[in-house]
């Protein structure tokens, strides 16, 4: 069974893979079980890759 649970996780900066890994680790620590997270990274070529994963 999948249960939706809203929680405030830190907004990590860095490479997308590292951000997702760190968010997963923090969510697992809070939930004390398996998790599925969602994180969106927007990058626009016309803006030189901004906003990207870090400002």
Q: Taking 60 as the threshold, does the pLDDT of residue 55 lie above it? A: no
- Please give the sequence-ordered ranges of beta strands (E in DSSP) within 1-55, or none if there are none: 43-44, 50-51
Q: What is the pTM of this model?
A: 0.70
pLDDT given at position 45: 73
Q: Taking 80 as the threshold, does the pLDDT of residue 51 lie above it? A: no
Q: What is the pLDDT of residues 22-42, one digit of tens each?
A: 999 999 999 999 999 888 777
Q: Taking 80 as the threshold, does the pLDDT of residue 1 lie above it? A: yes
Calpha distance 27→7 (Å, rounded): 8
The more confident residue out of 12 and 45 is 12
């Amino acid at each position: 069974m999948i249960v939706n649970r809203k929680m405030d996780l830190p907004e990590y900066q860095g490479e997308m893979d590292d951000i997702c890994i760190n968010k997963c680790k923090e969510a697992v620590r809070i939930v004390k079980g398996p998790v599925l997270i969602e994180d969106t990274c927007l990058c626009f070529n016309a803006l030189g890759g901004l906003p990207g994963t870090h400002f």
